[in-house]
Amino acid sequence: MANSHRFTSRYQREQRIMMASWAVFAVIGAILASAYLHWSSTRSAISGDATPPIAPTPSIHGWLDRSERVINDVIAARNAIAAAAAHHDIAGTGTACQTATGAIAHLHQQMPSPEPVLNSTLQQAISDYSTGLHYCISAGRTADGEGLPRAATYISQGDDAMRVVLDILSNESPQPGNLGVLRIA
């Protein structure tokens, strides 16, 4: 019984030492955190490195004013691809795809949009178009009619996403009808 009491006492003593150690570590951590915060705020005040103000989130109407021409350029480029493909002009389709890459790059520069759903849908359209245009340009350079179906699959997926984008924007546009119409030949 004496051994049992000694074991319990030893165990309790070790537990107390461990708890005291954790308490000391917590106090030291709090002191260090406080010192760091004080140091960083003092340093910012001295050096003039105040945190930059957060830019206000642009409205969908302001974003659309800046992006409408770019969106219309993408639609016009996509319609030019469809027109060349409808005439079975592989080289012309490749050239139209090459031209469309610039429009897609400009659209990518307009990102992000202020609306999360619009933003993700635009990103999907950009991604699909970029992949499809890569295959299309390659097929146009090599006059490879076999590569165009792969390009068409991705470009069609981009078209689907762009239609959703246009639907979203038609609800937000102060002047409906200013956005182009995506026509697939």
What domain count does the chain have?
2
The CATH number of the domain where 65 resides is what?
1.20.120
Question: What are the contacts of 124-127 at 24+ separation with CB within 8 A?
Answer: 124/157, 124/158, 124/161, 125/158, 125/161, 125/162, 125/165, 126/158, 127/158
Question: Taking residues 37-59, what's their average pLDDT?
Answer: 54
Contact assessment for residue 175 and residue 184, using Cβ atoms and an 8 Å cutoff: no
Q: Can you say whether the dihedral through the CA atoms of 172, 175, 180, 184 is positive or negative?
A: positive
Same domain? 6 vs 43? yes
Tokens 């068409």 map to which residue? 152
Question: Taking residues 167-184, what's their average pLDDT?
Answer: 64
Res. 133 pLDDT band, cuts 50 70 90:
very high
Res. 185 pLDDT band, cuts 50 70 90:
very low
Same domain? 89 vs 48? no
Task: Return the minimum-mean-pLDDT range out of 68-77, 131-140, 172-181.
Answer: 172-181
Res. 145 pLDDT band, cuts 50 70 90:
confident
pLDDT: which is higher, 128 or 40: 128
Which pLDDT score, from 0 to 100, does residue 147 have?
Answer: 81
Which pLDDT score, from 0 to 100, does residue 23 have?
Answer: 56
Same domain? 84 vs 164? yes
Domain end point (choices 54, 77, 95):
54
Question: Taking residues 98-117, what's their average pLDDT?
Answer: 93
17 within a domain of the structure (yes/no)? yes
Task: Give alpha helix (H) positions in 48-111.
Answer: 60-86, 90-109
Mean pLDDT of the chain: 78
pLDDT: which is higher, 58 or 118: 118
